[in-house]
């Protein structure tokens, strides 16, 4: 059994916040942000526009792309660190909005690695036979947890959502050559204070703001990312030459370039959206996937390598035959 991709979709809030607008609020510049991160703009959710609203639009787009009815979905795994509420899970808001009353829906929290963790989780449930069709969603409104006076972090993030539909397919033949081939997940809580939110229901009773030691994150990122990708190559018997598209978590162009270079992945195989989306945490990979599928780059049968690293630290890779 393989978890085969049936479709994908994404949604970005209308409002675009440019570097120039940010430079009018905090002591920064377009040059600094572009040079250090590659980010030129990001989308920001409107007042009253919640993570679930972005997720529902991305999920509906993915269902339309797959050409299937919402009623055939029996599992929703939604990766987010910015849920609508502490509980219930944002996934059940999506489930209700889609009119689904069967199966299971839950959130998963692995910060920027959330989508890779969610794909791995759904894949295991599908291959294990517990569910048949899954919506895997990454959705975030990081604008709500940013300290807009901290120039070291507020310039980096944006809001958005993306989703894929996975289906358990059995048997021999061309269909099962496609699908999720391997997933590798890692975490190391010794790094938990390098990137965190200084609030929460149990500690402060407040929502809190994102805090980050940017240099420390940068220092660990490339090694962790390349390590878990090498694990994917070894487990699947593939090499960098076999990869058609590298779709990394979009945190920072310098981290992506350095990782691709170290792995000998050609720059023209790298899907980049960080310039337009900023870092949308768990949403960045499905947003980038949907961008590259809809503009015709990623085609059925392509070998697609996903990778992410984020708070925790958490990191992971997924190799998918699209
Ligand atoms: N505009 C202008 N100057 C700034 C800004 C800004 N927005 N932010 C920081 N600076 C200043 C600092 O105050 C510092 O000034 P000083 O030398 O006078 O003290 C100077 O720029 C250098 O600061 P550093 O933090 O050392 O800059 P660095 O080159 O490391 O770049 C950055 C900062 C972009 C955050 C970088 O460390 C980075 O990309 N880290 C990775 C973090 C990341 O991507 N996190 C995303 C979440 S985790 C994930 O998704 C993988």
Q: Kindly report the backbone phi and psi dihedral angles of residue 162, in degrees, each rounded to the nearest multiple of 5, phi listed first.
A: -145, 160
Domain that holds residue 15: 2-169
Q: For ligand 1, atom 21, which residue shows the shortest CA distance?
A: 152
Instruction: Answer yes or no: do 204 and 140 share one domain.
Output: no
pLDDT recorded at residue 147: 98
The 10 Å Cβ neighbour count of residue 4 is 20
Whose structure tokens read 């000998």? 264
d(CA 315, CA 311): 9
Burial 254-280 (b: 16+ CB within 10 A, else e): bbbbbbbeebebeeebbbbbbebbbbb
For residue 175, is pLDDT > 60?
A: no
What is the pTM (predicted TM-score) of this model? 0.97
- Overall number of domains in the chain: 2
Those residues whose C-beta lies under 8 Å from the C-beta of residue 173, and which sit 6 or more positions away, are: none
Q: Which residues are catalytic?
A: 112, 249, 279
The encoded tokens of residue 60 equal 């509906």
Instruction: Answer yes or no: do 27 and 55 share one domain.
Output: yes
pLDDT recorded at residue 88: 98
For residue 308, is pLDDT > 70?
A: yes
Alpha helices in the chain (DSSP H): 19-23, 30-37, 51-66, 90-97, 114-128, 151-154, 214-236, 253-262, 274-277, 284-294
Region of 79 (left: φ > 0; alpha: ψ -120 to 50; beta: rest) is beta
pLDDT recorded at residue 310: 98
- Ligand 1, residues 27, 28, 35, 36: which to mutate, most atoms within 8 A of Cβ? 36
Q: pLDDT tens digits for 186-225?
A: 999 999 999 999 999 999 999 999 999 999 999 999 999 9
Q: In the sheet that 303-310 helps form, which strands lie side by side, from edge to edge?
A: 179-187, 314-321, 303-310, 245-248
Instruction: Answer yes or no: do 124 and 256 share one domain.
Output: no
pLDDT-derived band at 171 (thresholds 50, 70, 90) equals low
d(CA 7, CA 66): 4
Question: Counting Cβ atoms within 10 Å, is residue 213 exposed (0-12), middle (13-18) or buried (19+)?
Answer: middle
3-class SS of residue 32: helix
- Ligand 1, residues 17, 151, 152, 160: which to mutate, most atoms within 8 A of Cβ? 152
d(CA 317, CA 322): 15
Instruction: Answer yes or no: do 161 and 296 share one domain.
Output: no
State the average pLDDT over residues 131-142.
98
Instruction: Answer yes or no: do 162 and 299 share one domain.
Output: no
DSSP string, 10-21: EE--S-EEEHHH
State the average pLDDT over residues 295-308.
98
Instruction: Answer yes or no: do 161 and 274 share one domain.
Output: no
Provide ipTM, 2 decimals. Answer: 0.92
Instruction: Answer yes or no: do 138 and 112 share one domain.
Output: yes
The encoded tokens of residue 263 equal 């792995």
d(CA 184, CA 116): 9
Instruction: Answer yes or no: do 151 and 182 share one domain.
Output: no
Nearest to 117 by CA among 86, 84, 77: 77
Nearest to 92 by CA among 78, 82, 79: 78
Question: Counting Cβ atoms within 10 Å, is residue 152 exposed (0-12), middle (13-18) or buried (19+)?
Answer: middle
pLDDT recorded at residue 67: 98
pLDDT-derived band at 177 (thresholds 50, 70, 90) equals confident
Instruction: Answer yes or no: do 162 and 286 share one domain.
Output: no
Instruction: Answer yes or no: do 188 and 146 share one domain.
Output: no
Instruction: Answer yes or no: do 310 and 196 share one domain.
Output: yes
Q: Calculate how far, in angstroms, residue 215's C-alpha sits from the geometric centre of ligand 1.
A: 7
Q: Calculate how far, in angstroms, residue 244's C-alpha sits from the geometric centre of ligand 1.
A: 32
CATH number of the domain where residue 268 is located: 3.40.47.10
Q: pLDDT tens digits for 10-37?
A: 999 999 999 999 999 999 999 999 999 9
Q: Which of 147, 169, 191 is the last residue of a domain?
A: 169
Instruction: Answer yes or no: do 52 and 186 share one domain.
Output: no
Q: For ligand 1, atom 2, which residue shows the shortest CA distance?
A: 28
Q: pLDDT tens digits for 87-107?
A: 999 999 999 999 999 999 999
Q: Which of 169, 191, 220 is the last residue of a domain?
A: 169
pLDDT recorded at residue 290: 98
Q: For ligand 1, atom 46, which residue shows the shortest CA distance?
A: 251
pLDDT recorded at residue 139: 99
In the predicted model, what is the mean pLDDT of the chain? 97
Q: Calculate how far, in angstroms, residue 286's C-alpha sits from the geometric centre of ligand 1.
A: 25
Q: Which of 150, 169, 188 is the last residue of a domain?
A: 169
């Amino acid at each position: 059994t393989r978890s085969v991709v049936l479709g994908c979709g994404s949604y970005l809030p209308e409002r675009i916040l440019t570097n120039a607008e940010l430079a009018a609020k905090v002591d920064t510049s377009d040059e600094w942000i572009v040079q250090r991160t590659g980010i030129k703009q990001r989308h920001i959710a409107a007042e009253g526009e919640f993570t679930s609203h972005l997720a529902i639009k991305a999920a509906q787009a993915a269902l339309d792309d797959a050409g299937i009815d919402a009623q055939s979905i029996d599992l929703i795994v939604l990766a987010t660190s910015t849920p609508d509420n502490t509980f219930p899970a944002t996934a059940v808001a999506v489930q209700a909005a889609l009119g689904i009353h069967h199966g299971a829906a839950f959130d998963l929290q692995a910060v920027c690695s959330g989508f890779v963790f969610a794909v791995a989780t759904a894949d295991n449930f599908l291959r294990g036979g517990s569910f048949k069709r899954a919506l895997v969603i990454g959705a975030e409104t990081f604008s709500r947890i940013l300290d807009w006076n901290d120039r070291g972090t507020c310039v980096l993030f944006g809001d958005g959502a993306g989703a894929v539909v996975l289906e358990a397919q059995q048997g021999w033949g061309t269909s099962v050559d496609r699908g999720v081939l391997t997933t590798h997940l890692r975490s190391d809580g010794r790094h938990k204070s390098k990137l965190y939110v200084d609030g929460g229901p149990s500690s402060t009773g407040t929502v809190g703001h994102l805090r980050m030691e940017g240099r420390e994150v940068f220092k660990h990122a490339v090694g962790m990312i390349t390590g878990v990708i090498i694990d994917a190559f070894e487990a699947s018997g593939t090499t960098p030459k076999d990869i058609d598209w590298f779709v990394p978590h979009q945190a920072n162009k310098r981290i992506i370039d350095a990782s691709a270079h170290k792995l000998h992945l050609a720059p023209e195989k790298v899907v980049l959206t960080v310039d337009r989306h900023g870092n949308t945490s768990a949403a960045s990979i499905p947003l980038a996937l949907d961008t590259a599928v809809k503009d015709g780059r990623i085609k059925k049968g392509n070998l697609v390598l996903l990778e992410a690293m984020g708070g925790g630290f958490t990191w992971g890779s997924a190799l998918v035959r699209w």
